[in-house]
Structure 1
Amino acid sequence: MMDEQIHIDALGPTGPYRSRERKPLTALSGEHIGEISQVPTLYVRRALAAMRAAPTVPAAERFAALDKAADLFTGAAVGGLHPDDYAHLVSQASGVPLGVVRQSVEWVAEVLRSQRRTVELAMPRGAVADWRDPATTTGSAVWTRRGDLFAVHAAGNTPAVHGLWPEALALGYKVALRPSSREPFTAFRLVSALRDAGFPPAALTLLPTDYAAADVIVAEADHAIVYGGQDVVDKYRANPRVLTQGPGRSKILVTAEVDWREKIDVIAGSVSHLGGTACTCATAVLVEGDPEPLARALAERLGRIPSLPPDHPDAILTVQPTATATQLDRYLHTVAGDAHALLGGDTIVDDLPSGGSVLRPAVHLVASSTAPQLNVELPFPCVWVGPWHERDGVAPLRDSLVLTAMTTRTDLVDTLLDEPSITNLYLGDNPTTWLRPGIPHDGYLGEVLMRSKAMIRSGP
């Protein structure tokens, strides 16, 4: 039970703002725990105009503030909440296991601290970051922004989704963040920490709002990143200013010369990490040869994961309101079609006495590498296992955010690396969920937000 109601206000260019229009915030149990403001379109437009008029924060100040914000985000009372209270609130409201929340918080802090190195890694070798660099006296490229204002439509999967957009802040963009209404607490805490660390209010705003005003934020920003399903990807596909973060459809390939039994822990971890909610979690495993033994072993391994309340220290699986979990279960049964269920065939819903339902893992066996189920991604550990033959080539592996290839065939590796629709390629014992600060997730954000501009100058 919450002792006090939580209010998530807008954080505008002139300070906090509690709008007349607000939406309720609820816990998994259905308990009303607070409200989130819904700012109108007029407020959004005025906020964006004020942000454009504000000066750019100098680079040295940006990096110092990012470092300080990392410490505040992990260890200080921010926005009236101590770190433990915040973590329990996120878990209670979103159903994300408490351990996953804490792991995600540490990840975001590590990202903040690594921005000096990240922006250097993303910058072309022939460019310099400042026109005052001596290289420009004889001619050089200078890395400059393509715009001034960056919009973020955040997701509520886990706090880890906030590990990408700080790169824009490091590059000198002003950032307008629209939080998830399901889990706005991380966005509110992170924006508050960054402001407390030194970023001026006009450099970073939190604009909770409805879908219509959210579209205005994207339309009036120079660039944007938007999270969502395939419908969101399709909506913005033709807009070069919008980077979409949709279904990852991450996959694992095991070729015949590799003993999958030695890899089953890596495969299971790729499926279940972060409760199976991340876009990097494996949703398909393709096996050269008979896939059924691997599928059965994977089902046995995932079936061992216990159903626990999200605040239990050993919890791995996500909890959702029972109505939401039942709807997901119904959808899974529809899309599974003729796939053979080895786990979760009866139901994935496991009700908890404390409220809500655990989303249990599901493992299905499909008959071919062209089965449509291989492209179905759901927000829990749901994996489709099927056969792959060398004659199938790269086609079944396309459109993967991450592909882990368990193979020794260098010619195949070359082919996979050259395939444009495979965003990240991992080899051997590396899970699809592997990620480190400074390593691109969907390319470096700087590749989208920056450009190299030629410069030569006279004088010292």
Structure 2
Amino acid sequence: MSTGPSPSGELLALPLLTHRGTHSTRAREIVHGVDGRPLASLSLSPDLLISQSVLAQGRASPLAPEERAQRLLEASRRFLEDDLGGISFARHLTHVNQVSGHNAPLTEQLSRAVAAAIAEAPARADRARPNGSLRSWEEAAEGGGSGVWTRRGETLAAVLSGNAPTIQSGWLQALALGYRVAVRPSRREPFTAHRVVLALRAAGFPDTSVTCLPTTHEGASTLLRRADLGFVYGGEDVAAKYGASPTIKVGGPGRSKTLVAHDRLTPETLDSIAHSVTALSGSACVNTTAVLVEGDHERFAHDLAALLRERAADRQTTDHHLGPRVPSRSADTLIGHLERTASHARPAIPLEEIATPHPDGGVVLGPAVFTLTDPHDRLMATELPFPCVWVAPWTKADGIAPLRDSLVINAITRDADLINTLLHDPSVKNVHVNAPTVHSDGNLPHEDYTGDFLMRNKAVVSF
């Protein structure tokens, strides 16, 4: 079986990585770059194979914790240094760049962050463990006993989106905790998950420890039903379908916002918000998509638009483009959506400047800035997969109502009461104080610590 394009242009073959090794199926899907060119042939897993794999994984025993940690370190090195599936890391970056739409430097930055997530998975997972809980029953003190951190199940299904390579971080922590993981990669960007699983196997993890099973939406539902627990990522439709399940953790949507107090309208604030809008190609759930301004919001939007246009200038047709590069048809759909739904918003950047054709194919999107007159406008909850931000006025009389149901709020204010109110509102997942919404070091909880969902505490007493 070919694992990479031949000189004649043969497509890269991405087989299933099952509980019994690699397997190719007749059901396949072609992975295209944003320029429309075919890049890879992706095998799709049938439901029966999904069921068989998850069943076998549930019956398998996990490696010992120390061995898992050691092999994760080795896998991190192999991810960066080895030819895996016949593909070098440099060639892997090319493939990811061609399908993800991120610029070349960001693709490499995020892919190297994946290697860090592999190596640091045990430590990151352990940050969720309560102070009063131990890792194993052998550590439980005699007499009084202790809480012991234990898995809620044995198998985890990870149904991934293709927003960024670092979407792998959550399931890697599950692997570090002893779960056997079945990964359903994004069919738009399957390369990262495939390479991670190959690196883990090259480092000595058994095939039953982690599988890579690309499949259809129906197959993904089967995977989530068969595993003890599941991760799934998506928008409102995914949240509506799985949000009420106690065994499935839903990632997304984001709706991250920034609030600026009247005394913090400074050039430094403007620079920070511009970064929050455009970092990660503006396509992540932590990107600021709405700004509430206590003061002259029209002036602020004008200044923000000027700064973003300056940052995008002379970049959009290069390998360092600011926004994401997407297929032309996707760009037309998004611009058409804006024209239909945002007709009452005032564009601070002309709509005709939002889409820039790229010489290598596809279209680079953004930046876009719109002003609204009402902080409660429904558009304040609209997030699009490119640097697009809505700016509205805010006063203390508006309270936190316009800020609810957000993944991250950056409160650029000295108002301690407001910060406390945001912190205790259950609909606000994370609160930053004068820190960009995109800030993360890998150790901060995203939508809770991953371990909060994966683990529970049991009392263990030994006399």
TM range (shorter): over 0.9
Preserved CA contact (<8 Å) 2:370 2:390 = yes
Q: Tell me if 1:323 matches 2:315.
A: no
Q: Tell me if 1:199 matches 2:231.
A: no
Partner of 2:67: 61
Preserved CA contact (<8 Å) 2:371 2:390 = yes
Partner of 2:306: 300
Distance 1:157 1:24 in 2: 19
What displacement does 1:302 show? 1.2
Partner of 2:441: 436
What displacement does 1:205 show? 0.3
Distance 1:88 1:75 in 2: 15
Partner of 1:446: 451
What displacement does 1:347 show? 5.2
Preserved CA contact (<8 Å) 1:151 1:176 = yes
Going from structure 1 to structure 2, the CA distance change for 1:378 and 1:77 (only over 3 Å counts) comes to same
What displacement does 1:310 show? 8.4
Partner of 2:166: 160
What displacement does 1:316 show? 2.8
What displacement does 1:114 show? 2.1
Going from structure 1 to structure 2, the CA distance change for 1:144 and 1:187 (only over 3 Å counts) comes to same
Match of 2:195 among 186, 189, 200: 189
What displacement does 1:74 show? 2.2
- 1:179-238 C-alpha deviation (Å, 9 max, x unpaired): 111110001011111111121110100011111111000011111111111111111121
Going from structure 1 to structure 2, the CA distance change for 1:311 and 1:215 (only over 3 Å counts) comes to farther
Partner of 2:184: 178
Distance 2:123 2:185 in 1: 27
- 1:78-101 C-alpha deviation (Å, 9 max, x unpaired): 221111100011111232211111
Going from structure 1 to structure 2, the CA distance change for 1:344 and 1:107 (only over 3 Å counts) comes to farther
What displacement does 1:387 show? 0.7
What displacement does 1:25 show? 1.6
Q: Tell me if 1:219 matches 2:231.
A: no
What displacement does 1:334 show? 1.7
Distance 1:311 1:360 in 2: 14
Amino acid at match of 1:439: L
Amino acid at match of 1:381: P
Q: Tell me if 1:357 matches 2:363.
A: yes
Q: Tell me if 1:15 matches 2:21.
A: yes
Distance 1:123 1:151 in 2: 22
Preserved CA contact (<8 Å) 2:125 2:450 = no
Going from structure 1 to structure 2, the CA distance change for 1:268 and 1:74 (only over 3 Å counts) comes to same
- 1:95-147 C-alpha deviation (Å, 9 max, x unpaired): 22111111111222222222332233210111100111152553101000110
Preserved CA contact (<8 Å) 2:238 2:250 = yes
Preserved CA contact (<8 Å) 1:96 1:310 = no
Q: Tell me if 1:77 matches 2:109.
A: no
Distance 1:234 1:307 in 2: 41
Partner of 2:93: 87
Preserved CA contact (<8 Å) 1:248 1:280 = yes
Distance 2:120 2:36 in 1: 39
Partner-residue secondary structure (3-state), 2:230: strand
Partner of 1:335: 341
Partner of 1:455: 460
Deviates more, 1:35-44 or 1:109-118: 109-118
Q: Tell me if 1:272 matches 2:272.
A: no
Distance 2:266 2:393 in 1: 13
What displacement does 1:255 show? 0.9
After the TM superposition, which residues 7-156 of structure 1 pair with which residues of structure 2 at under 5 Å, given as runs?
7-156=13-162
| Unaligned 5+ runs, structure 2 | none
Amino acid at match of 1:391: A
| Unaligned 5+ runs, structure 1 | none
Going from structure 1 to structure 2, the CA distance change for 1:307 and 1:173 (only over 3 Å counts) comes to farther
TM-score by length of 1: 0.96
Match of 1:291 among 280, 288, 297: 297
Distance 1:148 1:310 in 2: 48
- 1:349-395 C-alpha deviation (Å, 9 max, x unpaired): 21123211111211000001101110000000010000111011111
What displacement does 1:288 show? 0.7
Going from structure 1 to structure 2, the CA distance change for 1:324 and 1:136 (only over 3 Å counts) comes to farther
Deviates more, 1:260-269 or 1:275-284: 260-269
Partner-residue secondary structure (3-state), 1:49: helix
Preserved CA contact (<8 Å) 1:308 1:358 = no
Match of 1:231 among 222, 237, 261: 237
Provide runs of 4+ in structure 1 moved above 4 Å: 1-4, 307-311
What is the Cα-based RMSD across aligned positions, in Å?
A: 1.6
Partner of 1:397: 403
- 1:315-342 C-alpha deviation (Å, 9 max, x unpaired): 3321111011111111122221301011
Deviates more, 1:74-83 or 1:143-152: 74-83
Preserved CA contact (<8 Å) 1:107 1:163 = no
What displacement does 1:262 show? 2.5
